[in-house]
Chain A
Amino acid sequence: MPKEALLVRTLVELADSLVDDFDVVELLSLLADRCVEVLGVSAAGVMLAAPEGDLRVVASSSEAMRVVELFELQSDEGPCLDCYRGGEALLNEHLMAADGRWPRFAPVALDAGFRTVYALPMRLRGAVIGAINLFATGEDSLSAEDVMAGQALADVATIAILQQRVASESRVLIDQLNTALTSRVVIEQAKGVLAERAGLSMESAFEAMRHFARDRNLHLAYVARGVVDRTLAPGALSTPRPLRPS
């Protein structure tokens, strides 16, 4: 299959798996396999930053120990870690000429038969969430088109991970959204009640509730609810605050 058709097919496959609830590791494994096919490299791996900030390998085109080990090594040093930290692609890094840049990683990679390594960042807004790592046995450089194709695959993987994160947390997020909206509605209603009863502007009504809540260590939404259901008299809010050292 021509390279371009292969890339299009891959992007479509990846996008397809976004539609329903999908297994993100399965998706990223597919991505790693396609990187090998589309870009003509020997091995590919997807590294994501763990919450603690170190890189973990989540998918690899090969389960061979020598390859997996290379990805694992890079939680400490290596082109993928450099790419992740710097947020820039590392292209065509010839390991023979690495000059002690990666003293632990480079010899192991050369031993495994690889000569060239590439890393493409997975960017989300300003942040980098991981990187795609590619290994080749030759010393050919990737063409500009190949780099663009690789970055397109990395971008789709990034969107996939983001949409998956949202989907997996959707129950909680929907509850949070509804709670936030409901509290805001009650606060606005309470401003209205207080503005009318105490003859205040909306701003002063809000300030009065905020001071009252802060001085008594209460949630603003709780105070607002009291104002709205009349369990808290407007007079209570305008009484002087508890004494403080002046």
Chain B
Amino acid sequence: MVGARLLRILSRLEAGGTRPGPARLCEVCAEVMVMTGAGIMLMSGDVARGSICSSNRVSALIEDLQYTLGEGPCVDAYQQDEPVCEPDLADPGEPRWVAFTPRAVEAGARAVFGFPLRVGAARIGALNLYRDRPGPLDDDQHADALVLAGVAARAVLGMQAEAAPGMLGAELEAGSDFRFVVHQASGMVSAQLEVSVGEALIRLRAYAFAHDRPLGAVAQDVVARRLRLSHDPAPGQEQ
């Protein structure tokens, strides 16, 4: 019964106050789902905007990979507007996410699940769930995840509700990682190479992928002026 599920989830959240912050939201998602980790990614216009919380290091990495590579369960769940389940990442039924999968497996994820965050007909992101051993979600867990995604979506909007015009809600700003350093680096690369910021971001992503490094770390190096990308899309030069 959906009501009983929702009540169970809301009462868990309530243990963190009537309006839980992002961190509590992720903890409850992981607990209720009996997952190794959980996280919440925000997206808009088919682009990942960043992560508002992740319950552990691997979960953060799974979100970072999807942000860097533009592929993975959350990206698909958001774009296709439906749950995306990969119960055995190391031995998938059909190969997908060529760049994401080997890195996620190496980090310790064996099953990954993405659920779109919906409010009415609109989507604002995706719930990221992973487990360190393979296996599908049972019907009960699947139903729980749908309810959790709805609660999380409304909670995120609730956090934005008190923000001043043009500003992010304080709780969102505080607990989240919107990868601002990546955008600073895009601006710098755009000036260095005389390209648009959009193209600069593509260059940064390509560099991160080619060197097998997180996009955030590459951006840090650019901003600290330790790294300058060259016009040749391939290598880039360490300073």
User: Is A192 in contact with B120, judged by CB distance below 8 angstroms?
Assistant: no
Give the distance in Å from the alpha carbon of A169 to the alpha carbon of B163 in the complex: 14
Q: Which residue of A lies closest to B125 (CB)?
A: A177
User: Is B184 in contact with A16, judged by CB distance below 8 angstroms?
Assistant: no
Tell whether B183 is near chain A: CB-to-CB under 8 Å: yes
B47 CB to closest chain A CB (Å) equals 9
Q: Which residue of B lies closest to A182 (CB)?
A: B44
User: Is A192 in contact with B186, judged by CB distance below 8 angstroms?
Assistant: yes
B194 CB to closest chain A CB (Å) equals 9
Tell whether B148 is near chain A: CB-to-CB under 8 Å: no
Q: A167-B154, A184-B180 are in contact. Are A124 and B19 (CB under 8 A)?
A: yes
Give the distance in Å from the alpha carbon of A194 to the alpha carbon of B186 in the complex: 11
Tell whether B137 is near chain A: CB-to-CB under 8 Å: no
Query: 27 A-B residue contacts at CB 8 Å?
Result: A12-B7, A15-B4, A16-B3, A124-B19, A166-B161, A170-B122, A170-B154, A171-B122, A174-B119, A174-B122, A174-B124, A177-B44, A177-B169, A179-B166, A181-B42, A181-B44, A182-B44, A184-B168, A185-B178, A185-B180, A192-B189, A193-B187, A193-B197, A195-B188, A196-B192, A219-B166, A228-B197
User: Is B187 in contact with A162, judged by CB distance below 8 angstroms?
Assistant: no
Tell whether B239 is near chain A: CB-to-CB under 8 Å: no
Give the distance in Å from the alpha carbon of A97 to the alpha carbon of B178 in the complex: 60
Using CB atoms and an 8 Å cutoff, list the residues of chain B in contact with chain A.
1-4, 6-7, 10, 14, 17-19, 42, 44-45, 49, 119-120, 122, 124, 147, 150, 154, 156-158, 160-161, 163, 165-169, 172, 178, 180-181, 183-192, 197, 223
Q: Which residues of B contact A196 (CB under 8 A)?
A: 187-188, 191-192
B70 CB to closest chain A CB (Å) equals 16
User: Is B191 in contact with A192, judged by CB distance below 8 angstroms?
Assistant: yes
How many A residues face the partner with a CB closer than 8 A?
Answer: 51
Q: Report whether over half of chain B's contact residues are helix, strand or loop; otherwise say mixed.
A: helix
The 5 closest A-B pairs by CB, nearest first: A192-B187, A16-B3, A188-B183, A196-B191, A15-B3
Q: Which residues of B contact A16 (CB under 8 A)?
A: 1-3, 6
User: Is A167 in contact with B120, judged by CB distance below 8 angstroms?
Assistant: yes
Q: Report whether over half of chain A's contact residues are helix, strand or loop; otherwise say mixed.
A: helix
Q: A125-B18, A173-B161 are in contact. Are A192 and B2 (CB under 8 A)?
A: no
Using CB atoms and an 8 Å cutoff, list the residues of chain A in contact with chain B.
11-19, 21, 123-125, 155-156, 158-159, 162-163, 165-167, 169-171, 173-174, 176-185, 188-197, 202, 219, 221, 228
User: Is B223 in contact with A155, judged by CB distance below 8 angstroms?
Assistant: no
Give the distance in Å from the alpha carbon of A184 to the alpha carbon of B184 in the complex: 11
User: Is A177 in contact with B157, judged by CB distance below 8 angstroms?
Assistant: yes
Q: Which residues of B contact A167 (CB under 8 A)?
A: 119-120, 154
B74 CB to closest chain A CB (Å) equals 16
